[in-house]
Structure 1
């Protein structure tokens, strides 16, 4: 037995096992330069540049909502009509107003989304892991969508998606807000 190679594993069905179901093809070596992890490609400043005509902002932190194209060019990039955060209603008023809008969601799905949002944005204690700048942003969005009617469902959805792309740690509650906004009739 000194020069005898070990025998191949035996299958209980048909003889020797030559390939495992999870083996890569022979000669295949993945290149680390051709693929990036999701977090590397999402957070890279050099890979993702906005198109000149794109309305999506790629700022590093939460920023106030942009006006729709119906406003003049000088006002289009600023905060909403010079409204201060004191003039914007608090989240404990805006969120119930959003929940009371007529939607096409089932009652069960609506209550699950509401619980997810409230857990982060209206926690019984602490901040729910949400930054003050993110709270201000969602307050302005809800003020413009629910109270003022300054933006429609499609514009609100696009703003939320852009917010989720540029902010980390908001996908749970912001995705739930997006789902409710999309379902408003």
Structure 2
């Protein structure tokens, strides 16, 4: 379970760094909920601080259980935000910065559910010692790989949607070198 602890902690660190690397994207997402400009900055700083605090707690012996409980609560809130976003605005939360530029809400929702479920598993896992170098390396690689898989799957789903729209809106047929019935009709 130590590797999972490191992976979840890494996800929270990467989310905090992502928000700091593209703060406008995240605050724009927060603005959709009607927060004032001052509240947007406080929201960004608050969320980043909580995410980093959770990561530290997950990694320190003796604090891993409170960290896992906080991670589960944060993951659950993240899941609720993603579900709301999916049902209303259909926009990404920009939780990981630029990597979420083209994130489909469905993929973000699945990612949020995975983080919440992983955190919940940690709540019920036995306490462990400080992670070894190998556990830390594997956990970090697991988290980064997972985030990239979600980003790539969103891109593949977007490509499929783009192809579907080309077919319906332009009567495009694959293998015709981009010619559509609109372009080939005589004027």
TM over 0.5: no
TM range (shorter): under 0.3
TM-score of the superposed pair, with normalisation by structure 2: 0.28
TM-score of the superposed pair, with normalisation by structure 1: 0.28
User: With CA pairs under 8 Å and 6+ residues apart, which has the higher RCO, 1 or 2?
Assistant: 2
Larger radius of gyration, structure 1 or 2?
1
